Amino acid sequence: MAGGKMDILDRPPLDRYDFSRMANMWEKLVLEIVADMIERREMCDCQDCVLDTSALALNSLPTRYWILGSYDAFCPPEKFTEDSMNVRLAQEAVMRAYQLVSQNPHH
């Protein structure tokens, strides 16, 4: 796929749907942890290291999607992102990912 995700979403019949409401809850957790590490100067803040770390961490976690604005009776998004086990798993994934990235940075 040459153009990426947005190109496919601009193509009929998918152009009729609002995919911006679909979100991976792990992404929210991972990016919050990465942001905290950057603010504490615990990781390189260049784009390559941030994107590589985020992608590696997300690829190591099971994908978990929600449709934002919909009520999920079993596990609302807030419960997922505030769960201490999920936070710990995301932290471990980011730390492992950054360790790999820092050993072989692309900058």
Average pLDDT, the chain: 91
Percentage above 90 pLDDT, the chain: 70
Model confidence at 72, in pLDDT bands (50, 70, 90)? low
CA separation for the pair 31, 94 (Å, rounded)? 9
Q: Which domain covers residue 96, as residue numbers?
A: 20-103
- Has residue 50 been placed in a domain? yes
Tokens of 33: 């942890």
- Has residue 4 been placed in a domain? no
- Has residue 14 been placed in a domain? no
Global confidence as pTM = 0.84
- Has residue 3 been placed in a domain? no
From residue 71, give the alpha-carbon distance in Å to each of 11, 68, 75, 84, 94: 29, 8, 9, 21, 29
Mean per-residue pLDDT, 39-63? 98
Over residues 23-36, the pLDDT tens digits come to 999 999 999 999 99
Number of domains in the chain: 1
